[in-house]
Amino acid sequence: MPKQKSATPKPQDPSLQLELRPGQSIELLKELHILTREGRINQDSRRKLKQVHHLYQFIEKILKELPVSDAGPTLADHGAGKSYLGFVIYDLFFKASGQGCIHGIETRSELVASSTVLAQRLGFDRMQFLNTSAAESAHSKALPAQIDVVTALHACDTATDDAIAFGLQKQAKYMVLVPCCQAELARVLTKNKALNLQRTPLAELWRHPLHTREVGSQLTNVLRCLYLEAHGYQVTVTELVGWEHSMKNELILAKFTGQRKHSSAERLNALLQEFGLQDMTQRWAV
């Protein structure tokens, strides 16, 4: 008997493949090149989408907890890149609500231009993209005086701190931060390493360069949490996704309560002294 030709396998339904949320736009994911035109996805894009979906779960809860206003919620996304996070938040929340605005802040002009074009094509008319840095954005007249939610997904080095400063100036009710590639504090640890090795055995924690980087990263996030608490935020630290998806996996959630913790300010200054980081006292002044 002649062999029967096997049928060409059809692409799996993306909604089953990716565990998409109800009403989520397949076309948007194709426009963002997370899905191919045939509805397929590679492992790198799968990891990226998983991170965005997990982060959205936290942000959705926050957006629902905001007080109702005529204008709707405002969200500033720092280090937006290709604005995967902003587009998904708009698609799943802002589009249906018919209110509010998302401001994507990005230094690369070509990404700002492409995101602007895509938002116009999709009819996401309450998305705005600014070609500026996180530090400069706090003084931009293109942004409202007050922002409800500040996000920063993998904003590198001091860009996370700039996003925090932006949130403080804009009286943000919530900040959602996933820091990345902290190097500033590690440079200061390296600069004063010889002196600190003579001063305290604690300096053994960062004697080797690899440990300097790791301790610097961990300590930076600890200082950020204390800094936020000292400014009246309730802080929660957790994992974003499993470590197999991203090594930059620490999620800092900050909710403004107005209750400044003086003990956090004291501990922050004590840590700066203990680790020989007097050069950064002004940097973390409360």
Encode the chain (286 residues) as per-residue pLDDT tens digits: 555 554 444 444 544 455 677 788 998 999 988 888 887 887 788 888 888 888 999 999 999 999 988 889 999 999 999 999 999 999 999 999 889 999 999 999 999 999 999 999 999 999 999 999 988 999 999 999 999 999 999 888 889 999 999 999 999 999 999 998 889 999 999 999 999 999 999 999 999 999 999 999 999 999 999 999 999 999 999 988 655 444 567 999 999 999 999 999 999 999 999 999 998 999 899 8
Q: Are residues 55 and 166 in the same domain?
A: yes
Q: Are residues 135 and 267 in the same domain?
A: no
Number of domains in the chain: 2
Q: Are residues 112 and 190 in the same domain?
A: no
- Tokens at 91, concatenated: 């698609």
pLDDT score, position 262: 97
127-131 vs 233-239, strand pairing mode: unpaired
- Residue with the two structure tokens 């930076």: 220
Q: Are residues 65 and 190 in the same domain?
A: no
8-state DSSP, 192:
T
Compute the distance between CA of residue 247 and CA of residue 99 in angstroms, rounded to an integer: 35
Judged by DSSP in three states, 16 sits in: helix
Looking up residue 108, the CATH number of its domain turns out to be 3.40.50.150
Residue 247 falls inside a structural domain: no
Q: Which of 181, 214, 247 is the last residue of a domain?
A: 181
Strand ranges in 98-200 using DSSP code E only, listed in sequence order: 101-106, 127-131, 149-156, 174-180
Residue 143 falls inside a structural domain: yes
Domain hosting 118: range is 20-181
8-state DSSP, 223:
H
Residue 172 falls inside a structural domain: yes
Compute the distance between CA of residue 35 and CA of residue 255 in angstroms, rounded to an integer: 34
Residue 107 falls inside a structural domain: yes
- Tokens at 272, concatenated: 């700066």
pLDDT score, position 17: 54
Q: Are residues 164 and 226 in the same domain?
A: no
Q: Are residues 65 and 137 in the same domain?
A: yes
Q: What is the pTM of this model?
A: 0.88
